[in-house]
């Protein structure tokens, strides 16, 4: 008896995605694969249908699996998504021939410690520290225990390389090639006046560094933490440590020029 080749299909619910899913399942079965609409740990591949948001949610909901992903874009942008709905045939052909590369996606870990306990988050795009009710935040920023700045403004983004084209890019941060092991700290509306001084531009930090952010004591309850757009609020935050995660996500890559083509076609 031959081994089953299970492929998980994770799709959002919009019309285009459902249509694509039906077609994909039909074609995978015809090619001897076993598509599964409920997440199986025994699968060899995860196919995510939707946009970047669907891709991010598929990873969070399935606890950062080691099974590689490939995305079919039915979203607005789909920067993570490698394929279009009309490319399913060539995808199956190339997948069967193992004609692809596996790309690593680096993530960011945050340890949020309050006076009572610590909480752990992992972000694929970024972790953002902001003020509640749009208040100005005042944050002490340390890199490897070296004090860098007392930041005042709307907040700080700590972005991964893959996340650099998301919120980070809108905030004026740089685009970082996904294989560069690094994190980027990007200010959101930094205040620069005779009262406050904050770095006006982003800084790219080596992948083994620890970024520590401490809210000023009287502001410890006015901090929000956003993980890939999902909002978290903690009582009495003492410190937030951010590092590149040991966990990694894997994504199939069918063209080495995809990244540059994507940048041009999706951002210019
Ligand atoms: P969303 O509101 O649909 O996301 C905003 C846009 O960001 C969408 O067009 C999304 O693509 C795109 N996007 C997500 N990840 C990307 C990446 N790595 N590179 C390039 N573009 C990317 O919400 P969502 O789909 O759940 O995405 C959550 C993300 O939104 C957050 O992680 C954050 O990066 C981003 N965001 C951006 C801003 C801003 O730019 N001012 C503000 C808040 C949050 P799709 O259309 O394919 O989904
Ligand atoms: Mn979206």
Question: Averaged over 174-195, what is the pLDDT?
Answer: 97
Query: What pLDDT score was predicted for residue 2?
Result: 61
Say if residue 103's pLDDT is above 90.
yes
Confidence (pLDDT) at 50: 98
The closest alpha carbon to 226, from 174, 167, 140, belongs to: 167
- pLDDT greater than 80 at residue 194: yes
Mutation test of ligand 1: which of 11, 51, 53 has the most ligand atoms closer than 8 Å to its C-beta? Answer: 53
Q: Which of 80, 166, 173, 230 to mutate to test the pocket of ligand 1 (most atoms within 8 A of CB)?
A: 166
The domain segmentation of the chain, as residue ranges, is 6-99, 107-246
Distances (CA, A) of 144 to 8, 141, 213: 40, 10, 11
Can you give the pLDDT at residue 187?
98
d(CA 160, CA 180): 9
Taking the alpha carbons of 226, 12, 163, 76 in that order, is the dihedral positive or negative? negative
What is the pTM assigned to this prediction? 0.97
Give phi and psi for 199, each to the nearest 5.
-60, 125
- The mean pLDDT of 239-267, rounded to a whole number, is 95
Mean pLDDT confidence for 165-181: 98
- Name the residue at shortest CA distance from atom 30 of ligand 1: 229
Span from the CA of 69 to the centroid of ligand 2 (angstroms): 17
**Ligand with an atom nearest the CA of residue 72:** 1
Report, at the CATH architecture level, how domain 107-246 is classified: Sandwich (2.60)
Q: Is the pLDDT of residue 1 over 60?
A: no
Encode 22-60 in three state secondary structure: HHHHHHHHHCCCEEECCCCCCCCEEEEEECHHHHHHHHH
State if residue 74 touches ligand 1 by the CB under 6 angstroms criterion. Answer: no
For atom 36 of ligand 1, which residue has the closest CA? Answer: 167
Domain 6-99 superfamily per CATH: Probable inorganic polyphosphate/atp-NAD kinase; domain 1 (3.40.50.10330)
**Both tokens assigned to 90:** 């060539």
Pocket of ligand 1 contains residue 159 by CB under 6 Å: no
As a whole number of angstroms, the distance between CA 61 and CA 29 comes to 25
Residue 262 has pLDDT above 80, yes or no: yes
| Whether pLDDT at 171 is above 70 | yes
Of all residues in the chain, the percent with pLDDT exceeding 90 is 96
Question: With 90 as the cut, is the pLDDT of residue 219 above it?
Answer: no
Is 35 a pocket residue for ligand 1 (Cβ < 6 Å)?
no
> Does pLDDT of 259 surpass 90?
yes
| Nearest ligand by distance to the CA of 161 | 1
Q: How confident is the model over 14-22, as a mean pLDDT? A: 98
229 Cβ inside 6 Å of ligand 1: yes
In this model, does residue 52 exceed pLDDT 60? yes
Determine if ligand 1 sits within 6 Å of the CB of residue 154: no
Residue nearest to atom 8 of ligand 1 (CA): 77
Residue 78: is its pLDDT beyond 80?
yes
107-246 has the same fold as 6-99: no
Catalytic position from the list 52, 99, 208, 228? 52
52 flagged as catalytic = yes
């Amino acid at each position: 008896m031959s081994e089953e080749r299970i492929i998980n299909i994770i799709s959002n619910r919009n019309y285009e995605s459902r249509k694509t899913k039906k077609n994909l399942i039909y074609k995978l079965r015809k090619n001897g694969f076993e598509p599964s609409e409920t997440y199986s740990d025994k699968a060899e591949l995860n196919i995510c249908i939707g946009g970047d948001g669907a891709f991010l949610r598929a990873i969070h909901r399935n606890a950062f699996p080691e099974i590689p992903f490939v995305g079919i874009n039915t979203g607005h942008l789909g920067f993570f998504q490698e394929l279009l709905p009309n490319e399913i045939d060539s995808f199956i052909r190339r997948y069967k021939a193992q004609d692809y590369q596996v790309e690593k996606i680096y993530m960011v870990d945050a340890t949020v410690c309050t006076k009572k306990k610590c909480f752990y988050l992992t972000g694929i795009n970024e972790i953002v520290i902001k003020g509640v009710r749009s208040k100005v935040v005042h944050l002490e920023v340390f890199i490897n225990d070296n004090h860098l700045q007392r930041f005042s403004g709307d907040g700080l983004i700590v972005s991964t390389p893959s996340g650099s084209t998301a919120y980070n890019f809108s905030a004026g941060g740089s685009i970082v090639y996904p294989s560069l092991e690094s994190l980027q700290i990007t200010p959101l509306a930094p205040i620069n006046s005779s009262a406050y001084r904050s770095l006006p531009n982003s800084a790219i930090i080596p992948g083994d560094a620890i970024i520590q952010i401490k809210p000023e004591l009287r502001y410890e309850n006015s901090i929000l933490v956003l993980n890939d757009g999902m909002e978290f609020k903690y009582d009495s935050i003492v410190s937030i440590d951010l590092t590149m995660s040991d966990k990694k996500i894997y994504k199939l890559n069918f063209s080495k020029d995809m990244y540059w083509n994507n940048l041009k076609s999706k951002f210019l």
